[in-house]
Amino acid sequence: MNKQELENRLIDFAAIIIILASNFEKNYAGNHLAGQIIRSGTSPALNYGEAQSAESTKDFVHKMGVCLKELRESFVCLKIIEKANLTKDVNRLSIAKKEVNELISIFVSSIKTAKGNMK
């Protein structure tokens, strides 16, 4: 997968998260987790753009690590949303969980490769 394809996947993931969150239950928990998942779910696409302009391999690894942290946060948040039944859109929730899991794997591998290149 090239840089543009990964960026497109991150943008698509962010869009899925925004659409999913817009359909949450309108209560305190739904509003709180909608805001949380929108922040963590859109952040990787934005931070990946920054990683592409990294000033060094160390800087790249750091910025990719920020993306990975946000993806992991999104995954946990999606599991909470599922357990709390905050959305009726279980199909989109399932797609989001599958995609974030795949993105986590891609970022773990990318960071591992970049760290290997630093040696």
Domains belonging to the chain, first-starting first, are: 3-118 (1.20.1440.60)
pLDDT, mean of residues 65-76: 98
**Cα–Cα distance measured from residue 94 to residue 116, given in angstroms and rounded to the nearest whole number:** 33
Angstrom CA distances, 107 to 10, 15, 33, 88, stand at 11, 19, 24, 30
Beta strand segments in 6-118, E: none
Digit-coded pLDDT (tens) for 21-60? 999 999 999 999 999 999 999 999 999 999 999 999 999 9
Band the pLDDT of 1: cuts 50, 70, 90.
Answer: confident
pTM for this structure?
0.94
Digit-coded pLDDT (tens) for 75-111? 999 999 999 999 999 999 999 999 999 999 999 999 9
